Amino acid sequence: MLRSTNGIVLPMHHPDHPNLHVLEHPLIQDKLARIREIGTPPGFFRSLVAEVAGLMVFQVSRDLPLRREMVRTPLEETEVYRLASPVTIVPILRAGIGLADGVSALMPEARVGHIGLYRNEETLEPVTYYCKLPEDVSAGPVFMVDPMLATGGSAVAAAKLLRDKGCKDVRMVCLVAAPEGVRLMHEAVPDVSIYTAALDRELSDVGYILPGLGDAGDRMFGTR
């Protein structure tokens, strides 16, 4: 699902969801299959999540703007290209940490912020309990990372928080997404692009993605 624009190969929009990009690279799909398996132990699960995140961000970042500058090699001066603005990785706690590790391994110069959310059991609305971001987070693109995009409530809340901070380029990176969450994000924050390794079938009655991969946080940290 790739297209070429001005010599740059970009993931295509999903035909049913204009805000969604599904990354179908064979290595991503192979590792996602291992992540889905019920018997994958926590340590291997974490390493696979980080590996998939690194492979995904290679595609997510293909259209980042560049700037020219001069550097001196051991032999002479030459013109080179660097990222035009700083990149910030923002995991949604807690499971997003696993993806953030994989992205930062590929982009060690990126800053890392954190957003923590929980659901109010009376209103069922997400509530922010922690937010720590670079002061100039709006100076460049933000990669918001969370393994699952299920109902979309937490992702929408985090995206709106970043938008309130002045961020203009917010990209959601997740392993699997449900159509319900993709649609909610398109309604609430249509300017946020979603990049996922798989668009799954639906949500269960209790809000789990089907077929999904279970509770990513519990599987990642061995808490269940």
Closest CA to 162 of 132, 127, 196, 195: 132
Question: Which candidate in 16, 30, 191, 218 is catalytic?
Answer: 218
Question: Which candidate in 119, 163, 169, 183 is catalytic?
Answer: 119
CA dihedral sign, ordered 74, 65, 136, 217: negative
Q: How many CB atoms lie within 10 A of CB 6?
A: 6
Task: Taking each helix axis as running N to C, give the angle between helix 26-36 and helix 42-60, from 0 to 180 degrees, rounded to the nearest 10.
Answer: 150
Q: How far from 30 is each of 34, 53, 206, CA to CA, in Å?
A: 7, 13, 28
What contacts 184, CB < 8 A, 6 or more positions away? 151, 152, 153, 156
Say how far apart CA 30 and CA 150 lie, in whole Å: 22
Q: Is 123 a catalytic residue?
A: yes
Q: Is 183 a catalytic residue?
A: no
Q: Is 30 a catalytic residue?
A: no
Q: Is 223 a catalytic residue?
A: no
Both structure tokens of 32: 């996602």
Q: How many CB atoms lie within 10 A of CB 218?
A: 13
Closest CA to 12 of 224, 195, 221, 198: 195
Question: Which candidate in 68, 123, 164, 224 is catalytic?
Answer: 123
Residues carrying an active site annotation: 119, 123, 215, 218
